[in-house]
Amino acid sequence: MKISKDSFLNELSISILKHIGLQINSYLEILIHKQSKLLSRKIRQGAVDLETYFISNESTLAERVQFLKKSPFFGEFLESEIKNIAQLMVRREYEPNELIYDQNEHTKGVFILIQGEVSIRRLEGNSYLEFRSISTPGYIFGWSSAFETTDICRAYTLQKTSVYFIAHTDLSKLFDESDFGVSFYKMIIWLWGNRLQLTHSRYLQLKEEHNLVSVDHLIEINRPRIHVTSP
C-alpha cells in the first residue's frame, strides 16, 4: 500500500524526528569540515568569554505573543502554543562582539532575535567560515539544543543585540503536553535541511565545480522555489 508523504509525516514521533535531525546534522558537519580545508586564511577572532546579560521584564505577555506571531518560525503555530512559548521567554542583551554560545558546546536552549545582528560562524585554526548573518526579528537559532547535541557553529554578535532565550528544560515540557513537540521538530528539520543545502552549494562554489552536474544539483534542490517559467 502506498503511503502519502503527508500521512508519513503525521505518523512521525519526536524520537524519530530527533534521529532524522541528528543524521542531517552529521552530514552538515562533514560538509563544514570539507569546506574548512578550502578556506583562504582570514583574521581569527580573539577568544571571548561567554556572554553577560541582564533580564528585562518590560514587555507584556500580549506583546511577546504578537512578536512571535510575526516570527518566520513560530508564526505557523497555534495561538495557544505561541502563548505557552511566550511565557517561557527570557530577554537577554548583548554588546557588540560578544559570544552568545561557542561551537562544539551545548547551547542549553533556543534563541530568538529581537533586534541587532548575529553571525553564525565556524572557527577552524586561523580561519573561520561565516554561514550567515542573522538580522531578521523573530529568527530562531541555537536549535541544536532541541536535539541534545552540541552546535557545530558559534553565535557571535556584530552589533548591540537583544534576544529572547528559552531554556531547553522549559521548552521540552511543552513537548509532552500536546502535538506541539512534533510540529516543532518538523520545523527545525526543515530549517536544518535548508542549512544543509546552502552549505553544500557553498562547498561547490569553494571547489569551483560549476559544471553541468553541479548546476543540475542546485536546480534540483531548489526546485520547489523555482517557477516553471524561470530562466
The pLDDT of residue 202 is above 90: no
Q: What is the pLDDT, as a whole number, of residue 188?
A: 80
Residue 112 grid coordinates = 530568538
pLDDT above 70 covers a percentage of the chain that reads: 59
What is the C-alpha to C-alpha distance for residues 28 and 32, in angstroms, rounded to an integer? 6
The string of pLDDT tens digits covering residues 1-42 is 444 444 555 556 777 776 776 676 666 666 666 666 555 444
Four-point Cα dihedral 179, 184, 185, 187, nearest 10: 130
Residues 6+ apart with CB under 8 A from 127: 36, 39, 40, 41, 42, 44
pLDDT interval class at 92 (50, 70, 90) = very high
Q: What is the pLDDT, as a whole number, of residue 124?
A: 74
The string of pLDDT tens digits covering residues 99-156 is 999 998 999 999 999 999 999 888 877 777 777 889 989 989 998 888 888 888 899 9
DSSP, res 191: H
The pLDDT of residue 182 is above 70: yes
The residue-averaged pLDDT of 155-164 equals: 94
- 120: nearest Cα among 154, 92, 146: 154
Q: Tell me if 82 sits within 8 A of 74, measured CB to CB.
A: yes
The better pLDDT of the pair 93, 224 is held by 93
Domains located in the chain, CATH noted? 42-193 (2.60.120.10)
Mean pLDDT over the full length of the chain: 75
The residue-averaged pLDDT of 38-54 equals: 43
Q: What is the pLDDT, as a whole number, of residue 55?
A: 41
Residues 6+ apart with CB under 8 A from 107: 101, 142, 143, 144, 145, 151, 155, 168
